[in-house]
Structure 1
Amino acid sequence: MREAHAAASSRAVQLESFGGPEALRLNDVPVPQAGPGQVRVRVTAAGLNPMDWFMTSDAQTAARFGLSLPCGFGTDYAGVVDQVGDGVTRFATGDRVFGGAVSRAVADHVVVGEAGPITVDGTVQHTPDGLDDDLAAVLTIAGSTAAAALAVVGPGPGDTVLVGGAGGGVGVFAVQLALLAGARVIGTGSASSAEALRALGVEPVTYGEGLADRVRALAPDGVTAAMDLHNTDTVRAARELGVPDERITTIAAQVDGITPANGADAAPGALEEIARLVAAGRLRVPISATFPVERIREAVEVQAARHVHGKIVIRL
């Protein structure tokens, strides 16, 4: 085992009962140790996702994700490797890294497998030069999910893509990746999100009743693909507009005939490519707010309100 320095203490955001932000506690915990094939990361930043508070909102939902009490919180992280377990070859102490560790990322230290899937042992990637930790800390869940959604619908030059929930955490990645692929992108959102969507190169349209008619007015030649990143309203509008089911995907709902997208199914190398695009300035990731870990409850309240235009980062 190789260690940069001995960690004397560690903190972790935990829940001793499932519930809302009021259930979150910042606790002193034993310093975790990297086992064979694992690395320990000194976390500097963690990014919030809707799934974080959804999974821990009640015991029944938590059980569906294999979570039990006491439970950690958060999935996306970035930091520096400070301990390397036996058999690890891809990482060394001092390496800057980012990745995901389901419901345990908002902590001073996180232990993840060198090559494990995110749903089991966590995942870890090298952070490219030029990418700061705040940005690296918000890439894993949203970036992987967006990449998986694009793989389902396959946008390219000549396509007009309708994206539901375009201003959300996954949406900001999905719309830009579709644009980089050469597609025209129409994105749904609230009236207050229109300016932010235009800044990303998206043609905004308000969601709600009459969506298909508003999209038809924007794209009289038709829509060829759709990604519903919120619920099922965009699926219904896309079908009304004649988009074939095989070119529609969802991430938050199951619809008969529609192939869902899951970040765990993203193609190998997809997340690394997204990180390179962000580092090169070709893909923008808006950071809405940053909070110190001591203000975790406030941060989750802001994120759960679903009115932020961009990502929320917790600094440790």
Structure 2
Amino acid sequence: MSSTADDVKTAVIIEDDPEIRHILSEVLESAGFTTVSVGNGVDGVRAVLSYKPLLTTLDVRMPGIDGFEAARRIRAQSDTYIIMLTGLQDEADVVAGLGAGADDYLLKPFRPRELRARVEALLRRARTGPAQPAGSVPETPGARPVTAPLPIARAEETDAQAAATAAASSGASSGEAAGDGEWLVHRDLSLHPENRIVLIDGEDLDLTRTEFDLLAALLESKRRVRSKADLTLVLRGESYVTSYYVGDADKRAIEAHMTNLRRKLGDSPTSPRYIETVRGVGYRLTSEQA
């Protein structure tokens, strides 16, 4: 493929510490990015909308709007990958940052090699469009288009609903493919990994990218327990690679994502229909029998 302006990888660095900005710039430029650095959240949001970056690093504690508010504004209009940076003493910020729309985080002080590894893992994950109402078209300059044209996506969705409904009525077992052989089904819950569609009893379910990836991992594993450390590696794109450090903050982030996923599924932790907690270990699907 010939090189064009669209092939250039751009990263926006939103950080008020000049020394950390310099380190981030060096690491990302060595990874092939062209970088744009700003020192506060307001200018950072503007930079994302102007430069349409593939990646954005975002500090939590900044003058003006903080990193959480900046992440919410960015995520509403862009599907840039967001890595949140927070101090080691502020691990509680991790859960809030992920809830605001960040894809991953790093605790300060961080190792340049770890940042590079996190970036490479993110780039292997599928991107979704910004948080827009279904069928709407972003009007704000700088918003990235969704991966597939909307009319095609809606047509695929219609076929998907019919296939999932048929699979549910035919009693497809947990984790079995349905319809075209690509669906994962558990009870009345159906997930299409390639088209990134989730249905409950044939009705669309709106999940974040992370919630979708967690649910897909559990459906693929059926009744096999997935630990919080294992699910952390799934989100990093490094499944079953044990050389990556998984800390308590990672595990708390998984717990937060699972809480949000269960809420959207209408699932109760005490009497689950889809996902059950294996105390002290992790999560797995419930049995097929009610």
**TM-score between the two structures when normalised by the length of structure 2:** 0.28
Write 1 or 2 for the structure with the bigger share of helix. Answer: 2
- Which has the bigger relative contact order, CA under 8 A and spacing at least 6? 1
| More strand as a share of residues | 1
TM-score for both structures, normalised by structure 1: 0.26
